[in-house]
Amino acid sequence: MYPKQTAKSRTAESVHQAIDSDSTIFILPDSNSFRNGHIINVGEDCPVFDGLYEFCQLSSGGSVAAAVKLNKQSAEICINWGGGLHHAKKSEASGFCYVNDIVLGILELLKYHHRVLYIDIDVHHGDGVEEAFYTTDRVMTVSFHKYGEYFPGTGDLRVWVIVEFQIVEVEKKFCEISKCVMLFQDIGAGKGKYYAVNIPLRDGMDDESYESIFVPIISKVMETFQPGAVVLQCGADSLTGDRLGCFNLTVRGHGKCVEFVKKYGLPFLMVGGGGYTIRNVSRCWTYETSVALGVEIANELPYNDYFEYFGPDFKLHISPSNMANQNTPEYLEKIKTRLFENLRMLPHAPGVQVQAIPEDSVNDSDDDEDKANPDERLTQAALDKRIAPDNEFSDSEDEGEGGRRDQRSFKGRKRPRLDKMDKNSDKHDLEDKIKQEDSKLDTKGDNDKDEKSALAEDLKKDTGPNP
């Protein structure tokens, strides 16, 4: 647990510049830029509301701050249930998502990790994250989603064949000439080819079928890609009974994905996502928080202010519906075979050249101390940062002969006090006194070395040669 962080405009600007140098539009509190809704796609499924800017700050700031914690090894697992807005694009909102906090968090992780794996178990395709890293081999995106006549309509595994027809006139007769164009969809492009992994699923996906395809695919991805950190989008709209979803997963089946990824022991960022049956979203993310912490919680819900919303059973776990599972074993096996074939096309786990680590987007230590209440006791972590061990050495600028190299700071030197100095004394006299003190310390150190060497020679003479 750590205090909430809000992303600043300069952070978002620098992150967008990391993708390209085009201008970026922001909805500021005192700005009327939302009036050009056609530019940034704000208005229909992404309406403007009071506090929108603050909401985007908290959502994106939480994921960026979590990534900083993972980079600094301050935590092994970080959770931002207010994030997971995977549909937002670089310059437009989409699908109830305004700012793509996942992309911002992954970009922060890439400062310290060569490769980052993104896994999406939302019922909708994570098109915004895939688009952001479509041409890079440092991020692999894996999305398990419903495909078909379903938003956003992307994330297919098949190779599309587009046939264009053209009618021409030949000798006063019309004939039809067809032109065939091959188009590879949703597998990546350029250096990122085959690094976009999509698993299109059908209605009625249940726990058993989901586990049968999730475990082998993620195992193969881990073996091939060898990521340094993992980001898991835990959209709860893939649960049974969701108002907009069409899967039949239970809370326990959804949580098995978290449990499986956690076993790899990598820096792990968990974010929220979709979910439109609110009581089940609360159940799901509560259970998955316990899975991340390794704590078992009871199935009976404790009494709280919202207890009545979880009736009539008032239980943590839910039962699947009688929805038919249209994902046959043959269909799932076909998907796995095709994906494994694509993964075999990857040459090796990509690396990156050695370079300077950029500055962290969130400097939480300074901000926390500045905002701390002076009347409250500092935390132990804040007190530990102020401890200066006595055995630390510091090198002065005059490290040459006669300098203070490898000597304790301000230890063993008697500096003249300025308040007792004669006002008429010359500045050169002060420098001479300091040099005299330094020479005394050097002479004392040399004498100590001579005494130690003489003592060692005497010991050798007394002991004699070894038999």
The answer to whether 406 is annotated as binding is no
409 CB neighbour count, 10 Å cutoff = 13
Nearest of 323, 85, 364, 377 to residue 206 by alpha carbon = 323
Contact 227, 116 (CB under 8 A): yes
Strands 77-80 and 229-233: unpaired
Q: Which of 361, 350, 353 is nearest to 139 (CA)?
A: 350
Whether 122 has a binding-site annotation, put simply, is yes
Please report, for residues 83, 97, 100, 263, 289, the alpha-carbon distance to residue 219 in angstroms, rounded to integers and kept in the order given. 26, 30, 27, 11, 22
> What DSSP string describes 315-382?
BSS-----------HHHHHHHHHHHHHHHTT--S-------PPPPPS--HHHHHHHHS-TTSPPPHHH
Type of residue numbered 365: S
Is residue 124 within 8 A of residue 274, CB to CB? The reply is yes
Question: Using CA atoms, how far apart are residues 269 and 84, in angstroms rounded to an integer?
Answer: 11
458 marked as part of a ligand binding site: no
The count of other CB atoms within 10 Å of the CB of residue 121 is: 26
Catalytic option among 87, 113, 145, 254:
87
Write phi, then psi, for 185 (nearest 5 degrees): -110, 140
Q: Is 125 annotated as belonging to a binding site? A: no
Instruction: Read off the amino acid at residue 90.
Output: K
Rounded Cα distance, 414 and 278, in Å: 69
- 95 labeled binding residue: yes
19, 131 contact by CB (below 8 A): no
CA 261 to chain CA centroid, nearest Å: 15
For residue 287, say whether it is annotated as part of any ligand binding site.
no
Contacts of 172 (CB under 8 A, 6+ apart): none
- CA angle, 149 as apex, 148 and 155 as ends, to 5°? 45
Sort strands 77-80 and 268-271 into parallel, antiparallel or unpaired: parallel
Pairing label, strands 196-201, 116-120: unpaired
CB atoms within 10 A of CB 146: 22
- Whether 254 is catalytic is no
Binding site for a divalent metal cation, by residue number, is 122, 124, 237
Which residue numbers are catalytic? 87
Binding positions are 45, 95, 122, 124, 237, 276
